[in-house]
Structure 1
Amino acid sequence: MNEEKRNRLIEHYLDGMDLQDKDLLRDAFAPDIVHEHPVRNIDGIEDFLLFKVDEQPPQESEHKVSRRIHVPEASVVQGRKVGTVEGEPVDAQFCDVYEFNADESAITKLSVYVRE
């Protein structure tokens, strides 16, 4: 288990979300990403990017991480999403569970849990 590699991929995801940057997101995930989300589940990088960038309402938000836990099977990140969505304040707690490919060069599964 390489925590540095995992943290770099997680940061690409979180920064990609905050900046709505498809290249950062694409760099973090395997082409066959499985994404479990409270709104809907998604398979594949193109549908993932469509959902995470193109279909999101206008927002200026930031993911603030408060805890990271790495175990051989997965990594867990807990924190808050703060800022605005469609001009309205947002402060939501999240917990993301990440799974990785064998050489930890890509995220293969992301399960998102949110409490607003």
Structure 2
Amino acid sequence: MKPAEAYILNQPEPFKSILLHLQILIEGTFPKADLQFKWKIPFYYLDDKPFCYLNPSKKKGYVDVAFWVSAHLTKYNEFLISENRKVVKSLRYYQLEDINELVLLTVLEEAHRLKDKGFYKKS
């Protein structure tokens, strides 16, 4: 088992359920996505480039799906949260029912297109 998978499975509820659902959606949509464990959280890479990361905040009670290319994202910006971050924006989920799959998959697809246009650099 990968360290990122173990991390997800060891999370308390509701974080575990949210993270597992996000994992299924991301890997189902992007089968080549590589789940890694960087900076103590799950990171997805596509073609050796960072794609998005999953950041559970137990203290604040949510899970973020965060994107570096947020300045270039144009769809569903009303759902993207920057919260004093200069580069990264995220979709935030407090419970499993908060996940709007259409919004998430649309933002993931747009981030993927931006990655293909060279907005991501290899890490």
Q: TM-score range by the shorter chain?
A: 0.3 to 0.5
TM-score under structure 2 length normalisation: 0.31
- Structure having the higher strand fraction is 1
Bigger RCO of structures 1 and 2 (CA < 8 A, at least 6 apart): 1
- Structure having the higher helix fraction is 2
TM-score under structure 1 length normalisation: 0.33
